[in-house]
Amino acid sequence: MAKKAKVFIDGEHGTTGLKIRERLAERTDIEVLSIPHEERRNDEFRAKLLNEADIAVLCLPDDASRQAVAMLEESGNDTTRVIDTSTAHRTAPNWVFGFAELTAGQEAAIASARFVSNPGCYSTGAIALLRPLIDAGVMAPGHPISINAVSGYSGGGKTLIAQMEDASHAEHIGANHFLYALSMAHKHLPEIVSRAGLKRAPIFTPNVGRFAQGMLVNIPLHLDLLITSPKVDYVREILAKHYQGAKFVKVASQEECKSLVRVDAEEMVGNDEMKLYVFGDDANTQVNLVASLDNLGKGASGAAIQNLDIMIAG
C-alpha cells in the first residue's frame, strides 16, 4: 500500500483553509495533520506539524506565511514541501507559480517544486487571458491594459463576510456593490505583471458585489492597436489552442459567445473550472475578454488542491 501523504493546513480555520479542509475530509490517500483551534497561535505546536508534514498548505496572512517558512529553515528542514496561498511569495524567484496552465512546462515545474505559490483569484483570471496573447506575439508586453473585475465578498475573508452579512457589525457594509483599492495598488498587481509577462502595470479596478462567491475578470481591448490587428475569432483561437486539453480551464466556443446576452458572476460557484469568453465585433475592432471563476474555487482552495495533487503525483 502506498504511503499516505501527510498534509498540514496552517491556517485551516480561515476561509480558504476551511474550504481546503472540507475538500480533503473524504480523501483516503492523504493524512491531514490538524491543529486545534485553541492552539492555532501556538508556534511550537505549529512548528511541530510543519516539520512532520510532507506538504504544508499555508492559508495565512503574508507575514505569518513568511514566519512558517522561516520555522522550517530554522529547524533545518529541507524536505517539507510548501503551497502558500498568500501573496507573500508569488513573485519570489525560488517559488514556482501554481498556475499549472500558465505554460507548457508549468505543471511539470509544480510537480517537482518544493515551494509553490498559489495564484490570487483576480490574477488567475487576468493572467489566463493575457499570457497566451503575449506568448503568441499578438499583444506587446508594454501594451496599455485595463482590468475590470467583480468578486463575491467571501474573497475578503471572515472580516468582510461579517461586515456584509451581519447588520449589527460595527463596520457593517450595506452597499450591494462597491469599488475598492482606490489607490490603484492592489496586492495582486505584482503577480499579474510578472506572470503575465507584462512590462507595464495595468489599470486594475476591483469591485465587490453582494454575493458570497463567484468572480468575473474582464479585459477590453482595441484590436487595431494590437501588434497584428487580429480578428475576434483569432483571439479566441489563441486561447483555445493554449488551453486545449486543460482540465480546469475551458474556452467558450464561438457559437456560445455569440449567443450570450450576459455572463453571471456566480455561474462557476462550486466548480473548480475557470471559463474564458471572447466577446467582440470586428466591425468596431473591439474585443472583451472575460474570465469567469469561483473566487474560492479555481481562485483559491480549488487551485491549492490542484497543486497539491500535482505535487503528490509528481
Closest CA to 210 of 172, 259, 261: 172
The model's pLDDT over 252-304, given as tens digits with 9 standing for 90+, comes to 999 999 999 999 999 999 999 999 999 999 999 999 999 999 999 999 999 99
Q: What is the pLDDT of residue 92?
A: 96
Within a 10 A sphere around the Cβ of 114, how many other Cβ atoms? Answer: 15
Q: Which CATH number fits domain 5-119+300-313: 3.30.70.100, 1.20.1260.10, 3.30.590.10, 3.40.50.720?
A: 3.40.50.720
In the block, cell 498540514 appears at 8
Class in CATH terms, 121-295: alpha beta
The model's pLDDT over 74-100, given as tens digits with 9 standing for 90+, comes to 999 999 999 999 999 999 999 999 999
% pLDDT > 90, the chain: 93
| Cβ contact 188:204 at 8 Å | yes
Average of per-residue pLDDT values in the chain: 95
The yes-or-no verdict on residue 40 having pLDDT over 90 is no
Domain ranges of the chain: 5-119+300-313, 121-295
Domains 5-119+300-313 and 121-295 share a fold: no
**Is 121 one of the catalytic residues?**
yes
| Cβ contact 125:133 at 8 Å | no
Cα torsion 310, 151, 37, 46 to 10°: value is 40
Answer yes or no: pTM beyond 0.85.
Answer: yes
The yes-or-no verdict on residue 143 having pLDDT over 80 is yes
The model's pLDDT over 43-72, given as tens digits with 9 standing for 90+, comes to 889 999 999 999 999 999 999 999 999 999
The yes-or-no verdict on residue 310 having pLDDT over 90 is yes
Q: What is the pLDDT of residue 2?
A: 65
| Cβ contact 71:52 at 8 Å | no
Alpha-carbon gap, residue 192 to 91, rounded angstroms: 9
Residues 6+ apart with CB under 8 A from 235: 133, 138, 223, 278, 280, 287, 289
C-alpha cell at 38: 485553541
299: left (phi over 0), alpha (psi -120 to 50) or beta: alpha
Q: Taking the CA of residue 39 as centre, how many other CA atoms within 13 Å lie in the half-sphere pointing to its CB?
A: 10
* Window from 20-29, 78-87, 216-225, 268-277 with minimum mean pLDDT: 20-29
The model's pLDDT over 87-140, given as tens digits with 9 standing for 90+, comes to 999 999 999 999 999 999 999 999 999 999 999 999 999 999 999 999 999 999
Catalytic residue among 121, 198, 226, 265: 121
In the block, cell 449589527 appears at 168
Alpha-carbon gap, residue 56 to 52, rounded angstroms: 9
The model's pLDDT over 246-258, given as tens digits with 9 standing for 90+, comes to 999 999 999 999 9
Ranges of beta strands (E only) in the chain are 5-10, 30-33, 55-58, 81-84, 96-97, 115-117, 146-152, 177-179, 203-209, 215-222, 249-251, 274-281, 286-293
Number of H helices, E strands in the chain: 10, 13
The yes-or-no verdict on residue 1 having pLDDT over 60 is no
Closest CA to 181 of 208, 160, 157: 208
